Structure 1
């Protein structure tokens, strides 16, 4: 018979929602992280994590694939996100911890799946932050050129793959984000909120300028590449939505996570979808899809053409600099909190779970993440791995939908402040849409993804499985001393609150 708190070899290592909450201390004050984020701060983090490179840089790629029908592509990508947003809203309210989809997978599908989800989050957050930082560097140069006629030389603003030596601005924006994150979540939330409001104002201003020159003829032909173009455009447009799940990583720092996290997720998806469709229509309606598709810094170009001046383009470039910086900040925040949860479980080194008593932030973990993200941003061209980032994110979203179904069956009495409507149709459709967009990434991306997952399995077998606190029973011993009555039963480590 296995020792208390351990799991039999034949059973999956599943951690119950109650144990996850008890170990994190999310229902208690004084557990390390401070509850300082209200609903507005959560929504700002969501907008901050979503709106950035995808619309300021990636719009031209989506238009090149779908033409004016890119609006349909944005809606289809949003529908995929909405299905999964419902799943994140239910699980984020029921399991208000920092681990986000990693913790949801641990509770619903077991430790090995959870580790692979955490491994894929390195793609979603790590690759996207590095790519976003490279995009930030491009807009900094454009802003400098618009204002002063001078820009950084390529040797200091691009990696070796792009004709330079080191991308210094990309490193600087990651360093600035890490400094804010180390100082404290309150300061980070305030900065993110300010940047989110500013970039929304600038995008609304862009829409006003674009619609002032709107011509119906620019929307025809509406779908030059047919359904295939819309499908490819949807996959490209999906990258513009990556990051909304970062809201759930604030589960231990939200004042009222069970109420505010579901609301923040759904409001962000709705707001961003309306904004993206409006921006796309304004851009294409003003100058035509053939002028927008494939053009770098397309939004600045549209404003310059419509106004006949470079001043408007400089304003848009400034908005892009702010927008992309906020994405770096919000996504790095999410990555450090997920690594903290994995570290608590013993699946990654313990350095990531240490919280500074002075700032109530994971200082060491934040600095490590900053260094790791800065290296590829400084020296690599990341265009080739954007599809890999997309397929990894879609796989995570599919797992979260499946976790909703698994937990509904295993934990019917779980306190859910929000429930996925039309269950089980919604999560099943969420999985189906994710699989479709994964298919659209192409077989080369699937091969890369298979290799990435294989590497993750090797890391799990070589380190995570042997150091798992759930397997050794350490989770049960720590919880017994800290959680006022949460106890582990069964070999599957099911916890019940007795207080």
Structure 2
């Protein structure tokens, strides 16, 4: 009995938990990863992927829109991201496996939706890792200039592809070096990567705390006069800009299969990371606005509101700014590390489901990590970072993130109806309003994206779906199971 196309597209991966008596030894068929990451290290994953370069320079974009009420904008953006984090927390506690949104969609919404979401998150992680690496190149050169006076030459600091009036070169070598270093670290194991990330996150949080402390020494209350002058429109516009500073929170769920006690650790880490990120962002905004006149927060001014510039103005010397520049370099390193990690785990989950060739599911017996995946991702991201300007990359990051957020929220609703008996150590408060609001918020932001962003996404999605229809659906693990079941039925009928 043949399986119809509609049955293939809507088949769902069964949820098999370790507590099930029929499958006490594993959560799913295929290779396993080692559980080495604790709750604190997992929280640092979320903070590491979220607190990136945005907070070091986002004030110059957001303050002109909202004025001193940008503090409210940070809180609103955090609440919007928090809605998504609550949905992620429930899904992660119910389905603690690798693959994040892809795996959740496969369990809740079916194979076709899972492949579409895989395209979204692979685009999000791959492009953002490349763009962040390109940004790291500029900050590293700035730091080298301030410290030893010897940055990389332009020929080795810029891609050969022109963008506007930007300088061109042969290869963005620092960006490639960053990706290679992160790749080598990931190949050594998830535990070592988590420890390195934790150290880098603590350093950059310390640098931001230093900014807050120094900023408060120059704090002037009158800079918060006319707090609501920009109105609801300005606050909302700034919140939209700031929202993308929170998109790294979904990286926590990609580690689901390498976490100790994941059903408790994943929700706790997501919530803890969200609280830390919102607190740090609001304190930095409060100190920055209190320390510098509002008219100087403008991307059109020669003096931008980069945190390093604010510190230099307060202290009268470049030392504090240099320390902050070093913090930015470390910050971007940890973002790149976690972003690459997330992409390798999604590819691993797809390989184990045989939506990709089996090679993507291979695990090193020594490090218990998907080494082939890591090398593959490292090579692709390094090539993009080395040869493509970041201006071409950033706009395509947001669409994948927002689609993923929406699908996770939808998955919460679907699984509540189709699998009400599923053990959920964490449940979304305010259900069903919370996931519905998440979808509405994400849809609103998606509606405002540029047409070129949708075009790029459409082309990438067409490539991924073509691969699925010609290869993936015929080789998937569920497809093999259905074929075997159909053969049994056919023999019984005879």
TM-score, structure 1 length as denominator?
A: 0.89
SS at match of 2:464: helix
Write the deviation string for residues 392-418 of structure 1: whole angstroms up to 9, x where unpaired. Answer: 211110010000000000101111110
2:441 corresponds, among 411, 421, 433, to 433
Partner residue, 2:421: 413
Write the deviation string for residues 292-350 of structure 1: whole angstroms up to 9, x where unpaired. Answer: 33266801111111110000001001111111101111111111001000111122222
Alignment of 1:226-241 (within 5 A): 226-241=231-246
Query: In the TM superposition, what is the alpha-carbon distance from 1:15 to its structure 2 partner?
Result: 1.3
Query: In the TM superposition, what is the alpha-carbon distance from 1:286 to its structure 2 partner?
Result: 1.1
Partner residue, 1:261: 266
Partner residue, 2:167: 163
Cα distance in 1, alignment partners of residues 226 and 181 from structure 2 = 45
2:61 pairs with 1:61: yes
Partner residue, 2:492: none
Cα distance in 1, alignment partners of residues 380 and 75 from structure 2 = 34
Question: Which range is displaced more, 415-424 or 439-448?
Answer: 439-448
Cα distance in 2, alignment partners of residues 24 and 332 from structure 1 = 31
CA contact (8 A) 1:46 1:243 kept: yes
Residue 315 and residue 29 in structure 1: after superposition, are their counterparts in 2 closer, same or farther (change >3 A)? farther
Residue 208 and residue 381 in structure 1: after superposition, are their counterparts in 2 closer, same or farther (change >3 A)? same
Query: In the TM superposition, what is the alpha-carbon distance from 1:266 to its structure 2 partner?
Result: 0.7
Cα distance in 2, alignment partners of residues 29 and 44 from structure 1 = 30
Instruction: Name the count of aligned residue pairs.
Output: 477
SS at match of 2:96: coil
Partner residue, 1:177: 182
Cα distance in 2, alignment partners of residues 363 and 456 from structure 1 = 23
Query: In the TM superposition, what is the alpha-carbon distance from 1:194 to its structure 2 partner?
Result: 0.6
Partner residue, 1:131: 131
1:340 corresponds, among 348, 352, 368, to 348
Question: Which range is displaced more, 383-392 or 128-137?
Answer: 383-392
Cα distance in 1, alignment partners of residues 323 and 354 from structure 2 = 47
Runs of at least 5 residues in structure 1 that lack an aligned partner in the other structure: 478-488, 491-499
Cα distance in 1, alignment partners of residues 342 and 133 from structure 2 = 16
2:213 pairs with 1:213: no
Cα distance in 1, alignment partners of residues 321 and 415 from structure 2 = 49
Residue 11 and residue 50 in structure 1: after superposition, are their counterparts in 2 closer, same or farther (change >3 A)? closer
CA contact (8 A) 2:17 2:26 kept: no
Partner residue, 2:15: 17
SS at match of 1:416: coil
Query: In the TM superposition, what is the alpha-carbon distance from 1:463 to its structure 2 partner?
Result: 2.7
Query: In the TM superposition, what is the alpha-carbon distance from 1:153 to its structure 2 partner?
Result: 2.0
Partner residue, 1:494: none
Cα distance in 2, alignment partners of residues 112 and 21 from structure 1 = 28
Query: In the TM superposition, what is the alpha-carbon distance from 1:7 to its structure 2 partner?
Result: 8.6
Cα distance in 2, alignment partners of residues 240 and 442 from structure 1 = 19
Query: In the TM superposition, what is the alpha-carbon distance from 1:229 to its structure 2 partner?
Result: 3.6
Cα distance in 2, alignment partners of residues 212 and 230 from structure 1 = 27
Query: In the TM superposition, what is the alpha-carbon distance from 1:26 to its structure 2 partner?
Result: 5.1
SS at match of 1:441: coil
Query: In the TM superposition, what is the alpha-carbon distance from 1:447 to its structure 2 partner?
Result: 4.0
Cα distance in 1, alignment partners of residues 152 and 435 from structure 2 = 48
Cα distance in 1, alignment partners of residues 183 and 460 from structure 2 = 27
Alignment of 1:356-371 (within 5 A): 356-371=364-379
Cα distance in 1, alignment partners of residues 24 and 102 from structure 2 = 14
Residue 250 and residue 2 in structure 1: after superposition, are their counterparts in 2 closer, same or farther (change >3 A)? same
Runs of at least 5 residues in structure 2 that lack an aligned partner in the other structure: 490-494
Cα distance in 2, alignment partners of residues 370 and 278 from structure 1 = 35
CA contact (8 A) 2:312 2:318 kept: yes
Write the deviation string for residues 12-48 of structure 1: whole angstroms up to 9, x where unpaired. Answer: 1111222799999755999542111111111111111
Partner residue, 2:321: 313
Partner residue, 2:389: 381
Query: In the TM superposition, what is the alpha-carbon distance from 1:275 to its structure 2 partner?
Result: 0.7
Residue 57 and residue 351 in structure 1: after superposition, are their counterparts in 2 closer, same or farther (change >3 A)? farther
TM-score, structure 2 length as denominator?
A: 0.90
CA RMSD of the aligned region, Å?
Answer: 2.8
Question: Which range is displaced more, 284-293 or 324-333?
Answer: 284-293
Alignment of 1:72-471 (within 5 A): 72-160=72-160, 161=162, 162-165=166-169, 166-220=171-225, 222=227, 226-294=231-299, 298-471=306-479
CA contact (8 A) 2:256 2:266 kept: yes
